[in-house]
Every structure is written in C-alpha cells, then in structure tokens.
Amino acid sequence: MDPEISLMFQSASPLGIPECHVGAELSPLYDRHPLPGDRVQIETTWAARRQQEPWLFDGAKFRLHSIKQEGGILVFRLGLTSYKDFVGTNLAGRVEQLRRQGHEDFGNSQAYLADPLGVGAMLHTADDRFVFLRRSLCVGEAPGKVDVPGGHPEPLVGAHYFQVVTGDTTSQGPIRHQDLPGELVVKELFSSVLREIQDEVNLPPSSLSCPVLLGIARNETSGGGASAEFYVRCSLTSEEVQCNYAVGGPEAQESTSIIFVTRENVLTMEQEWGSVEELCPSGKGP
C-alpha cells in the first residue's frame, strides 16, 4: 500500500455501490472536538495562508467521522466543518501533534481534525480512457500535480434544496445539522461528484452516468482527510472530452491540462506523464 494513502472502505462488488444503498447520519456528535485556544491558532494559520494564496475561500463542509454497514446500507456518519478549519488543522504544521493528542484523549487520531469529506471520480470515456487533470498552481492542495476530477460536497447546496422542497426559507445564519435530512446529504454526496466533473472538465450532464461508490480513502499527506471515490461513465470519446475541456468550464482555472490514461496503463501511471510521484494522493485512492 502506498504510504500516502490508506483505505478506509472498499466496495466488495466490482460494480460499486449505487446511491440507493448509501445512507447518512448528520449529527453534532460527529463534529471535531475543539481544543482550548485552538480557534486563535486556526484563525492565525488561515490568515497567513490567505496572505500567500488570496484565492482561497472558506465554506461549510461535511466532516467524515466514521462509517457503518446496516442492513445492506453503507452509512456515512457526518458532522459539519469548514475549509478554514481544514487549513488550520489537517494542513497546519501542528497536525501530527493534534493526531497524537487525539489518540491519547479519545483513542482516535482524527478527533481534533476538521477532516472534510472530499469526492473524486474515475471518469471513463466511451473509447476506454480514464481522465486525469494537471492541477494549476492556484489551488489549495497539491499544486502542479496530477489528479482525478473532484472536490467537496457542499452542505449549503443540500440545505438550499431542502428549503426548496419544504418551502421553509426561514433559516438564517450558519447551516445547522437539522437543516439536512440524511437522504439529502446522500443526494448531495453523489450529485457533487457529477458537478465537479461538469465544472472542471466542462462535460454536459447528459453525457455522464449515475456515479457508483468504489470506496473511501484517507490522504495521509493531509492529516488523514478522507475522500469518497466514485466511478462515472462518460458517453463521449476522449477526443470529444478534450474538445469540451478546451472550451473551459466554471472551474477551468483549477487545472492546466487534461490527460487520458488507457485501462491497461491506469495502474502504471509513470508511462503517461513521466513519474508516479506527480500523482496526488487523492488521485491514487480510486
């Protein structure tokens, strides 16, 4: 196993897990444990990082606490966190100290970390190629490296959908755990990976299949933050995908080039771009 990643969960079926077999529990019990005074440290770390990389922005994220299998359903136990807290814990210089203290205090090395849940996609074209992107230098993690399309599910998107469905537009201020029923969390989890593909690769929604969950991987270079990895089939050929990518989507600035890897070479990445060290840990998870 690559030391940069660890597998938290892997589907027993090579076909993956469809949305109907996934559940979610969103609860304050699954938020990170704060330490006395660590809010100041987080704010200081965030301010310093923003000074160096002003394009970074904060936002609510789901925090993956753990998973369980219940009656044939894989259940994500989720709390709420933020990108700022991620930078101030998982990406901070004190991350290993936090992991050690979490293990000592709770028997859980992730207890004091933000651990926002990411998503990544093995995007498979009609002519049997897999899609990778060369990340730009204006991204928060792994600038210049090669990765799969991906990002983070957005609690605010799910909360907005809940308000539309229920007609309740009275909620104000920060998002609350009770604003998001489990089924809408799952909907956002699966929808977000399609949204990332559309925004980063500029593909029409009609060209993409329903995602299936392959597994969950922890990125050990970012304090063990987890990412749900999906398989998505595209009805377009690699040449057609290349043309769409060249036009540019809403998040075109996050990458500088697109790379197509044959099925045969997907496990020997060095043949495609020179060195496997260029591949992000998040790109190794799928």
Domain containing residue 20: CATH number: 3.90.79.10
Number of domains in the chain: 1
Residue 257 carries which side chain, given as an amino acid letter?
S
Residue stretches of the chain with pLDDT short of 50: none
User: CB under 8 Å to 248, separation ≥6 — which residues?
Assistant: 202
Q: What is the spatial distance between Cα 227 and Cα 207, in angstroms, rounded to a whole number?
A: 24
pLDDT reported for residue 284: 64
Domain range enclosing 142: 5-284
**Closest to 81 in 3D by CA, of 57, 56, 114:** 114
**Closest to 150 in 3D by CA, of 224, 73, 53, 217:** 217
Do the bridges between strand 129-135 and strand 146-147 make them parallel or antiparallel, or are there none, so unpaired? antiparallel
pLDDT reported for residue 169: 52
pTM of the model: 0.91
pLDDT reported for residue 249: 84
